[in-house]
Chains A and B, each alone.
Chain A
Amino acid sequence: MNAAAASTADAPLLQVRNLHVGFRTQNGVVKALNGVDLTLHEGETVAIVGESGSGKSTTAAAIINLLPGSGQITEGEVLFQGRDLAKASPRELEDIRGRLIGYVPQDPMSNLNPVWSIGFQVEETIRANGLATGKKEVRAKAIEVLEQAGLADADQRLRQFPHQFSGGMRQRVLIGIGLAASPRLLIADEPTSALDVTVQRRILDHLATLTEDAGTAVIFITHDLGLAAERAKKLIVMYKGKIVESGPSVEILQNPQHPYTQRLIAAAPSLASRRIAFSGQELGSIEHVAANESDKVDLITAAERRVENLDAKPSESVIVVDHLTKNFKIRQGGFRSTEFTAVDDVSFSIAKGTTMALVGESGSGKSTVAKLLLKLEDATSGTITINGTDVASLKGRALLNLRSRMQPVFQDPYGTLDPLHNIGNTIAEPLKTHGVGTRNERRDRVFELLDQVSLPRVIAGRYPNELSGGQRQRVAIARALALKPEIVILDEAVSALDVLVQAQILRLLADLQGELGLTYLFITHDLAVVRVIADNVCVMQRGRIVEAATTDEVFDNPKQAYTRELLDAIPGAGIQMGV
Chain B
Amino acid sequence: MAFYILRRLLQAIPVLLGATFLIYFMVFAMPGNPALALFGERTPNPAVLAQVEARYHLDQPFIVQYLYYLGNVFRLDFGTSFSGQPIGETLLRTFPVTARLAALAILFEMIIGLAVGLWSGLRKGGVFDSVTLVISLVLISVPIFVLCFLGQFFLGYKLGWFRSTVSAGAPIQDLILPALILAFSLVAFNIRLTRSSVIETAGNDFVRTAYSKGLRRSRVIPVHILRNSLIPVTTNLGADFGILLVGATVTEGIFNVPGVGNTLYKAIVIGERPTVVSFVTVMVLLYLVVNILIDLLYAVLDPRIRYVK
Residues of A whose CB lies within 8 Å of any CB of B are 64, 66, 68-69, 90, 94-99, 102-103, 105, 107, 110-117, 124-125, 128-129, 161, 163, 174, 177-178, 180-181, 331, 333-334
Contact = CB atoms under 8 A, between A and B. Distances in A.
B204 interface: yes
A110 B205 contact: yes
A96 B211 CA distance: 11
A119 to B, nearest CB: 13
A114 B303 contact: yes
Q: Which of A95, A125, A129, A161 has the largest number of chain B CB atoms within 10 A? A: A125
B228 A113 contact: yes
Interface stretch (B76-84, B94-102, B112-120, B212-220): B212-220
11 contacts: A98-B214, A111-B209, A113-B210, A113-B228, A115-B301, A124-B213, A129-B214, A163-B304, A177-B213, A178-B212, A331-B308
A102 B212 CA distance: 7
B302 A111 contact: no
A105 B205 contact: yes
Contacts of B54: none
B57 interface: no
Contact of A128 (B208, B213, B304, B308): B213
A124 B219 contact: yes
Contacts of B227: 115-116
B206 interface: yes
A211 B133 CA distance: 50
B224 interface: yes
A105 B211 CA distance: 12
B224 A113 contact: yes
B212 A97 contact: yes
Nearest to B227: A115
Contacts of A64: 212
B228 A128 contact: no
Contacts of A129: 213-214
B204 A128 contact: no
A114 B214 contact: no
Given A97-B212, A163-B304, 9 more contacts: A66-B212, A94-B217, A95-B214, A105-B205, A105-B208, A114-B302, A115-B231, A124-B223, A129-B213
Contacts of A116: 223, 227
A161 B305 CA distance: 11
B3 interface: yes
A95 B219 CA distance: 14
Interface string B9-46: 00000000000000000000000000000000000000
Q: Which of B210, B214, B217, B219 has the largest number of chain A CB atoms within 10 A? A: B214
Contacts of B304: 114, 161, 163
Contact of A107 (B203, B205, B212, B228): B205
Interface string B55-95: 00000000000000000000000000000000000000000
Contacts of B203: 69
Interface string B273-309: 0000000000000000000000000000111100010
Given A68-B208, A110-B206, A113-B206, A125 B303 contact: no
B219 A105 contact: no
B58 to A, nearest CB: 50
Q: Which of B204, B227, B303, B304 has the largest number of chain A CB atoms within 10 A? A: B303
Nearest to B230: A115
Given A115-B228, A161-B304, A94 B205 contact: no
B187 to A, nearest CB: 25
Contact of B216 (A94, A103, A112, A163): A94
B215 A94 contact: yes
Nearest to B212: A103
A90 B213 contact: no
Interface pairs A-B: 10 shortest CB-CB: A98-B214, A103-B212, A110-B205, A125-B213, A113-B206, A97-B214, A161-B303, A111-B209, A98-B213, A111-B205
Contacts of A180: 213
Nearest to A109: B205
A98 B302 contact: no
Contacts of B208: 66, 68, 105, 111
A96 B214 CA distance: 7
A110 B228 CA distance: 13
B19 to A, nearest CB: 32
B67 to A, nearest CB: 37
Given A97-B212, A98-B214, A128-B213, A115 B219 contact: no
Nearest to A331: B308
B204 A110 contact: yes
A300 B57 CA distance: 94
A535 to B, nearest CB: 39
A334 B3 contact: yes
B214 to A, nearest CB: 2
A178 B210 CA distance: 11
Nearest to A94: B216
A112 B208 CA distance: 10
A429 to B, nearest CB: 29
Contacts of A90: 217
